[in-house]
Amino acid sequence: MLNEFKTGDILSHQTLNALLSKMMNMIRGSNGILVQRVGNSMVISQGNQITSKRAASTTTTIPAVGALPAIPTSGSLSVFWDSTIPPNTGDNQIWDAYAGQNVWYPRQFLTTKSGTPSS
């Protein structure tokens, strides 16, 4: 795609819009990820394909906390452990806990934190 442009080419508004359109059309979601073009934007969400034209998506709200709460006694809980909320001990990432566990686990990144709840 980028090889369509040569050094010194003058880029017009139409050329840049065509480039953006090509780039947006190249984005593909993996299993369980829905990618939709809405006007000049892309909406990427977790969802289940119902038909080729409609999709159901889910929204999850993750609370920001200053300290890890108690492990849930049923189900699961996800929190964003925020370093700017007192006592300022978080590492700014999402942590998950499931009933029956005794520590929290970071969702994605390596950390130096222990995952021991504060309560």
**pLDDT tens by residue, 18-42:** 777 777 777 777 766 777 777 666 6
Please give the model's pTM, rounded to 2 decimal places: 0.47
Average pLDDT, the chain: 77
Residues in CB range of 41: below 8 A, 6 or more apart: none
**pLDDT tens by residue, 50-83:** 444 444 556 778 889 999 999 999 999 999 898 8
Residues in CB range of 88: below 8 A, 6 or more apart: 66
Cβ of 108: how many Cβ atoms within 10 Å? 7
Quote the pLDDT of residue 103.
92
Residue type, 116: T
Would you say 79 and 63 are in contact if contact means Cβ atoms under 8 Å apart? yes
Residue-range domain boundaries for the chain: 2-57, 64-106
